[in-house]
Structure formats: C-alpha cells, structure tokens
Amino acid sequence: MTDLVARAHALADDLLFPAATEVDLKGEIPSSHFDALAAEGLYGLAAPTEVGGPGAGLPEIVQILEALAGGCLTTTFTWLQHHGLVAALTAAGNAGAELRDRYLPSLISGELKAGAAFAAVIPTPPRLRAERVDGGYLLDGEAPFVSGWGVIDVLQLCARDGDTIVGAIIDPVAGEQLEVQPLDLVAAQGTSTVHLGFTRYFLPDERVYGKTPHADFVAGNTFASRLNGCAPLGLAARAARLIEDLGKADVAAGIRAEIDAVRGRLDAALADPPTLPAARAAGAELAFRAAGALVAANGSTSVLVGRHPQRLVREATFLLVAASRPEIKTGLLELFSRA
C-alpha cells in the first residue's frame, strides 16, 4: 500500500503538475492522464480487495487524494467522481447484483469511466425527483453540476421518490428528455462540467442498483464529505512547496502545520459528524489563503496567464464551493469575517 501512495506522488509530480498549466489554458485533460491513473490501479481505489481493489484504508486514500489534487486539480476532480459508483456497486445488495457483475470489473480497471450526480437529492425539496411508474421511474428536475461529460462512459445518478433515494446507472447521452448545458467555470474548465435537465426521463428498473432512505443516505455521505476535504489540503500543500522554492521556508512551514491540524480535524469528524462542516470550511479557507500567500511571495508575475500562482488562486476559489453544503458556507463566512 505504501507503494501505491508513492506511485501517486510520483504521478502527481512527474506528470500532472508539469502539465497543469496547459490543462488549465486549454480547458481539456489529455487522455494520457486518465490512462496513467488506470495503469496505476487508481480507478479501483474505492474497491476492497475481495472485488479486485487495493483495499486501501483511510490514511492511504487521504494521502493519494491530496497528492493528486496538488498535481492537477482538474484531472483529480474529474477522476474522483468515478469512485462513487465503484463504492455504491460494491455495497449494493442483491437488487444490484446484476449491475455489479456487469460494470464493476471494468470500472475498477478504468476501462469504463464513471461520473456522479447525487447532490440534487439531499435538499428538501429535492432538485431531482423520481415518480414510480410501470417498469421504472420518471425523472424530473435537474442535476446542476455534473463533471466529466464527454469523458465518462456511465453516470451514477440518484433521484428522490418521497423519502427514498433511488440509485441508478444511466448512459450520459443528451436527448429530448435529458438536456445538457455546458458550463463556463472560473477554474477547472477541463472537468467538462455541465448542467443536466430532466423532463419525464424514463429510468427502467433494470438500471437501478439500490434504494436508500433519505436519512440513511445523508448519514452515509459523511465519509465521502471527509474525502472531499482532501482537495483543498492538496492544493495548499502545493502552494507551500512553491512558496518554499521562493525561499520562504518559514511561511511554508506555517501552512504545513495548518494542513496537519485541519487533516486531524477532518479525521476526527468521522466519529463526530456534526463537526465535519467546520473542518471542511477550515480546509477550503486554508487553501484560499495559501494560494494568496503564494501570489504575494512570488510577486507581480503571479497575475500573468499561464503562471501557477494565479491558477491556484482560481482553483482555490473553485474549492470554496465544490462539494459544499449550507453548513460549510456558514463556516466559511464565519472564518472570512473573523476579527
């Protein structure tokens, strides 16, 4: 397992980070990035050993996610969506056995790439609703941010039928019942993020892998939310390295100490979920501040197109809202308004 972490660090430093500026400027991720992630076995990161995954524990997963996010946030954010379906199919009961057998091996190998759209079912009322009909469901509503469009082969989709979350796999193909609107982002444009609009979209029963009570679904989202806290820490760590390269070792050391402290808070929140939003907010605020420190340390050339400092500031802005929740927003505003 230590070897997998080491390979992730090497991939981030030798491939992802040197290309991050070009990915940002072009708004496109080279397919070779995804090939390299698959070759290292990282598409199966969420899978246990009994189904062909590496059986990674939380410390290893955290190290890998932070390393990759510090290499190229655009690539990492797109790749990260894949693991929701891997985890869901691994945990699916008998109802999802056929879909698990059909998709899971290819998802673990990286032959198939998945996206995710499930945040729309968390609020009440939900933004994506499911109505039971003969043979399946009719979906109406929206999935506001779906990344990887044009890259992914399948999409993990969750819709809400009353107090039940319906988890399914659909083909990412636009149509009369599925409207796709590309979005222009301030950063990570290469994630190919779109807005999906559903109008009486028919979801057949054979594409449903499971059904979960809403309360259980929200409670089960704690682990995923903790992992979403890795990207800001990875970005902050990259900013610290660049600051140290500029001869500001004391500033870099201070940022690293804060990274360790926030990581500890995120880990502790798994046993105390109500504290997780504040820890997530602290990580996002730290990334934003670390990127700003890099701009200040580097000086006026930081604002030139194609330079890492301005890219990291924009990506830190992206992370202020990515995978966020109202409680995290509240925590951020408290941090930004402190005396």
For 197-223, write each residue's pLDDT tens digit.
999 999 999 999 999 999 999 998 999
Contact 201, 177 (CB under 8 A): yes
Q: 10 Å Cβ neighbour count for 276?
A: 25
55 CB-contact burial (10 Å; exposed 0-12 / middle 13-18 / buried 19+) = middle
Which residue, among 230, 241, 187, 186, has the nearest Cα to 17 in the 3D structure? 241
Calculate mean pLDDT across residues 139-149: 97
Cα–Cα distance measured from residue 275 to residue 233, given in angstroms and rounded to the nearest whole number? 17
Kindly give the residue spans of alpha helices, DSSP state H, lying in 12-57. Answer: 17-26, 31-39
SS3 string of 75-132? Answer: HHHHHHCHHHHHHHHHHCCHHHHHHHHHHHHHHHHCCCCEEEECHHHCCCCCCEEEEE
Q: 10 Å Cβ neighbour count for 305?
A: 9
In the predicted model, is pLDDT for residue 141 greater than 80? Answer: yes
State the pLDDT at residue 2: 76
pTM: 0.95
State the pLDDT at residue 254: 98
Q: Position of tokens 């107090």?
A: 163
For residue 177 the two structure tokens come to 């019942």
State the pLDDT at residue 338: 82
Residue at 32: amino acid letter: S
Calculate mean pLDDT across residues 232-261: 98
Q: 10 Å Cβ neighbour count for 91?
A: 13
* 271: phi then psi, degrees, rounded to nearest 5: -90, -10
In the predicted model, is pLDDT for residue 339 greater than 60? Answer: no
pLDDT category of residue 286 using cuts at 50, 70 and 90: very high
Interval 1-53: pLDDT, tens: 579 999 999 999 999 999 999 999 999 999 999 999 999 999 999 999 999 99
Could you tell me which residues are beta bridge partners of residue 131?
138
For residue 268 the two structure tokens come to 């502790």
Strand ranges in 234-339 using DSSP code E only, listed in sequence order: none
Query: How many residues appear in the chain?
Result: 339
Calculate mean pLDDT across residues 136-160: 98
Mean of the per-residue pLDDT values for the chain? 96
Interval 292-334: pLDDT, tens: 999 999 999 999 999 999 999 999 999 999 988 999 999 999 9
In the predicted model, is pLDDT for residue 57 greater than 70? Answer: yes
Residue at 291: amino acid letter: A
pLDDT category of residue 288 using cuts at 50, 70 and 90: very high
Q: Position of tokens 């990274």?
A: 259
* CA angle (37 as vertex; 32, 40 as ends), nearest 5: 120
State the pLDDT at residue 312: 98
* CA angle (227 as vertex; 271, 311 as ends), nearest 5: 140
